[in-house]
């Protein structure tokens, strides 16, 4: 988002940290926490409650809306897609999926989000490879087919397209 946040006081720092994954056992459930490739940012983690059959995806899943991809904090559409694919491989039709934004989801809604993201990436990628400017890419309206369903309540279409294109250029 191209902004600077002042450091938090020592009391606000985490007391439990991890590199790749961590497991908790709490109230009769096993909770797996794992990092995913940079998606919304470069520090995304997903929580999976095994017994409850619930996954909390945070901002790697925006149910029914375009996501915010913070390119300046390391996020990318490819990371968002990879996070979705990782979770889709772990869940079943009864799994409740908690998004970062939007209503409670399930495997079907996560699959729909994933499929939209893949289609958007595949529409923007050739424009970036052709050397189009961000303004030209936005003006091409590569999300027009999706805007009615996905373009409200989250990142506005132009901002979403800009973030996706900036992320592709950053590679």
For position 100, which CATH number holds? 3.60.15.10
97: confidence class by pLDDT, cuts 50, 70, 90: very high
Residue 89 in any domain: the answer is yes
Residue 95 in any domain: the answer is yes
- What is the per-residue pLDDT for 4? 82
Residue 1 in any domain: the answer is no
Residue 123: domain span: 10-170
Residue 41 in any domain: the answer is yes
| Structure tokens given for 134 | 């961000």
Q: Give, in order, the Cα–Cα distances in Å from 153 to each of 63, 86, 101, 143, 157.
A: 10, 25, 9, 15, 11
pLDDT at 70 over 70: yes
Q: Are 97 and 104 in contact (CB under 8 A)?
A: yes
Residue 4 in any domain: the answer is no
Beta strands in 69-126 (DSSP E): 96-101
Q: Whole-model pTM?
A: 0.92
Residue 156 in any domain: the answer is yes
Please state the domain count of the chain.
Answer: 1
Residue 115 in any domain: the answer is yes
Residue 58 in any domain: the answer is yes
- What is the per-residue pLDDT for 171? 67
């Amino acid at each position: 988002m191209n902004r600077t946040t002042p450091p938090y006081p020592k009391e606000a720092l985490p007391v439990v940290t991890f590199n790749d994954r961590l497991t908790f056992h709490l109230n009769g459930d096993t909770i797996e926490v794992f990092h995913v490739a940079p998606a919304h940012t470069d520090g995304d983690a997903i929580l999976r409650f095994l017994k409850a059959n619930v996954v909390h995806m945070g901002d790697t899943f925006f149910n029914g809306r375009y996501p915010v991809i913070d390119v300046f904090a390391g996020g990318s559409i490819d990371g968002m897609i990879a996070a979705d694919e990782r979770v889709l491989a772990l869940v079943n039709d009864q799994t409740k999926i908690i998004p970062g934004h939007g209503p409670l989801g399930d495997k079907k809604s996560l699959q729909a989000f994933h499929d939209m993201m893949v289609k958007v990436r595949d529409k923007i990628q050739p424009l970036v490879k052709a050397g189009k400017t961000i303004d030209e890419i936005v003006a091409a309206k590569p999300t027009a087919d999706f805007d009615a369903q996905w373009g409200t309540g989250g990142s506005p279409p132009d901002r979403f397209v800009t973030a996706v294109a900036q992320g592709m250029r950053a590679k």
